[in-house]
Amino acid sequence: MKTVLLHICCGVCGIYSLRKLKNDGFSVKGFFYNPNIHPQDEYARRKEVAEEVCRLEKVDFLEKESGSSQWHDLCSPYANQKEGDKRCALCYELRLKETFKEAKAAKFDYIATTLTISPYKKSKEIFEIGKSIAGDSFLAIDFKKKDGFKKTIALAKEHKLYRQDYCGCIFSKA
Ligand code: SF4
């Protein structure tokens, strides 16, 4: 069975994505690396929910906590850009690079990311970034396809998961 390290941005986006990968025949592990999330109590909450959905879906969970200074150095120069511009591309890249690093070290076949389930994020751009980092080891799955976003929201409601109302960083919160 092929293995996938799935970068999970939050539990709500994770629950359907994990299920889909499992249904598609992959062995999956959830990977939480999101130094973009602000403030710290929001980070802790999203991590907790991501861990909970991995438990619900019976897959392993791994958190990589590295502090947010690298994210700030990269993304703060673009603080005033609107969501979806350069700041976000750098934010995706940082998170996917770390996912690939972890996947290589642990000998996973593939990586993928829940970021593509959001209707606010351009999957094509995420695919380009993922492929530039991991080549054929990046699974270009558009989780929002076939009502993926609707399905994950329905699952989140069913399990009474916490749903945030901003993307994650200090600039998106503002
Ligand atoms: S809006 Fe979201 S994707 Fe963009 S930089 Fe902030 S946290 Fe990252």
The domains found in the chain, sorted by start residue, are: 3-173 (3.40.50.620)
Residue whose CA lies nearest to ligand 1 atom number 2: 167
Helix, strand, coil % over all residues of the chain, rounded to 5? 55, 10, 35
Q: How far is the CA of 87 from the centre of ligand 1 (A)?
A: 7
9 pLDDT tier (thresholds 50, 70, 90): very high
Euclidean distance between the first and final Cα of the chain, in Å? 44
State mean pLDDT over 93-100: 98
State mean pLDDT over 8-32: 98
153 lines ligand 1 (CB under 6 A): no
174 pLDDT tier (thresholds 50, 70, 90): confident
Q: Kindly tell me if the per-residue pLDDT of 66 is higher than 90.
A: no
SS3 label, residue 138? strand
Choose the residue to mutate in 72, 88, 118 for probing ligand 1, maximizing ligand atoms within 8 Å of C-beta. 88
Q: What is the pLDDT of residue 153?
A: 98
Euclidean distance between CA atoms 112 and 39, whole angstroms:
26
Q: Kindly tell me if the per-residue pLDDT of 39 is higher than 90.
A: yes
Q: Kindly tell me if the per-residue pLDDT of 105 is higher than 90.
A: yes
14 lines ligand 1 (CB under 6 A): no
Q: Kindly tell me if the per-residue pLDDT of 130 is higher than 90.
A: yes
State mean pLDDT over 145-159: 98
State mean pLDDT over 129-135: 98
126 lines ligand 1 (CB under 6 A): no
Q: Supply the pTM of this predicted model.
A: 0.97
Torsion of CA 37, 48, 104, 145, to 10 degrees: -80
Q: Kindly tell me if the per-residue pLDDT of 101 is higher than 90.
A: yes
- Cβ(10)–Cβ(46) below 8 Å: yes
State mean pLDDT over 9-23: 98
Per the DSSP assignment, residues forming a β-bridge with 138 are 111
Q: What is the pLDDT of residue 135?
A: 98
- Mean pLDDT of the chain, nearest integer: 97
pLDDT, tens digit (0-9, with 9 covering 90-100), for 45-54 = 999 999 999 9
